[in-house]
A and B are shown apart, each in its own frame.
Chain A
């Protein structure tokens, strides 16, 4: 059961979606000077998705963090009846929206495989299995350090932990063979922990900036917005099997992916991860200041 403070924050998602569906930002409780970005560009409330939003789809995760006055929605949507994937972050001050940040991933490929959200993201974690919020953020930070360094360190993952990216599962999925296959190596078939040391993610040079938005101990959930920097310079890697494995086509050109990612923890272990992201020119700024103190916004 959401706490009263969480419930209050979640009403801002309700009113945001209602205003979006009406294509009418005047219905929003906006603070003066409120900023809106869509796919990293600052635009006026009323532009972009505000003119094209048709409705929510079946996939829908809403999480709130009263300590940070933040609330997020990860959802499948339709835009002029075409499927898309949507991540929204709101920051609330004095019962008004001061920041709204949206990522809209367009194109059918991912949108049609989003399905429904795993209820684990909104399920309460028993008190004895909770992780302090600062520790959860430190674990996610360590996870991204591990992506950069091809090292899972001492991170712990639940045996059923998988990650999905724009609706496509990318770990523990033997059926997926379009990339990361060579000789005896089959990257997507490996579990999330085993993938790190293979170097298959080494085309991700840096995950920066890392902006943490939500850390909710009750549900064991962290949400952040992260810049994945892909210079495009690594074309192959040598897998532990000894096979020389080509990087997938999307890794062979410089790009930046801006990604909203949700992490679920149970007893200090990663339980499930879901990412929603858009592809941008290499070096594109996320549209919000980098964290000033520590890594949280």
Chain B
């Protein structure tokens, strides 16, 4: 572990301990700290700060090598019900100025906090210097993922052959172990991420907007992205380039948006792993972190 890892882990631990104690005062807060939960600006002592408890059964901190910003995935109970927490902590002069959180509470079948126990080893491994990309190239690779979804084209995304994706604790690519209640049919879940996207299945995701890349860890090859998906629900069935028809999943038949916190592992220029925590919101919801007129 390097010094920066220890500091990231320390700040993440300090935050989680403060959360379990329901006491934001245990954090070195700036007087002007901004806090959000699930896209809403809130007083720092509200939301999960009033409902969290222990034990923390999963913790995965990561840090921006340039800015010192800390990211975090964790699992902890809220009034006895397990939740998945994805957080971002920004610092200035050693004080917390921004705390952005997404709290995933019991939702449809794509919610398995019990399956999150240890970070995937892939995400902890430091990259040999020759496999590291520039900050801009890392963000470009992550952004291509969203471009590929918008265009139903997995081929434009630089995936490694062994890349798979975990959403709210559930592995949803290259697996046959899938809950039948999810939108992921067995055929779909058996595919790799590129083929899933090229199948047209994600056509209902019409726009991926308000893309932010707040944390980049060059040494480990990690990029965090916080984005909003729009699902206008205007297609029941799509016709694919080969002329075949594909019905959109029933969950995509009413308008909605989704707020998602991604973590990409980028190794040797390829996306080698994806972790996502997300929540569903009313259509065209906006994040508190955008200034008026943005998005």
Contacts and interface: CB of A to CB of B under 8 A. Distances in A.
Interface string A239-273: 00000000001001110000000000000000000
Contact of A283 (B46, B281, B285): B46
Given A52-B255, A232-B78, A253-B81, A43 B40 contact: no
Interface residues of A, number: 31
B286 interface: yes
Interface in A274-292: 278, 280-284
Interface stretch (A34-42, A113-121, A132-140, A184-192): A34-42
Given A254-B51, A281-B39, A48 B283 contact: yes
A232 B79 contact: yes
Contacts of B282: 38-41, 278, 280
Given A47-B232, A52-B233, A233-B50, A281 B79 contact: no
B46 A254 contact: yes
Contacts of B37: 254, 281-283
Interface residues on B, range: 20 to 34
A96 interface: no
24 contacts: A39-B282, A40-B282, A41-B282, A47-B284, A48-B255, A51-B232, A51-B233, A52-B254, A80-B236, A82-B250, A82-B253, A84-B254, A106-B254, A232-B79, A249-B81, A252-B51, A253-B51, A253-B81, A278-B282, A282-B42, A283-B37, A283-B41, A283-B46, A283-B47
Contacts, number: 96
Given A281-B40, A284-B40, A80 B81 contact: no
A91 B220 CA distance: 56
User: Which residue of A40, A41, A82, A84 has the most chain B CB atoms within 10 A of its CB atom?
Assistant: A41
Interface string B217-237: 000000000000000111010
Q: What 5 A-B pairs come out closest when comparing CB atoms? A: A39-B282, A283-B40, A281-B38, A252-B79, A233-B50
A39 to B, nearest CB: 4
Contacts of B285: 41
A254 B48 CA distance: 7
A79 interface: yes
Interface string B237-275: 000000000000010011100000000000000000000
Nearest to B83: A253
Contact of B254 (A80, A231, A284): A80
B293 interface: no
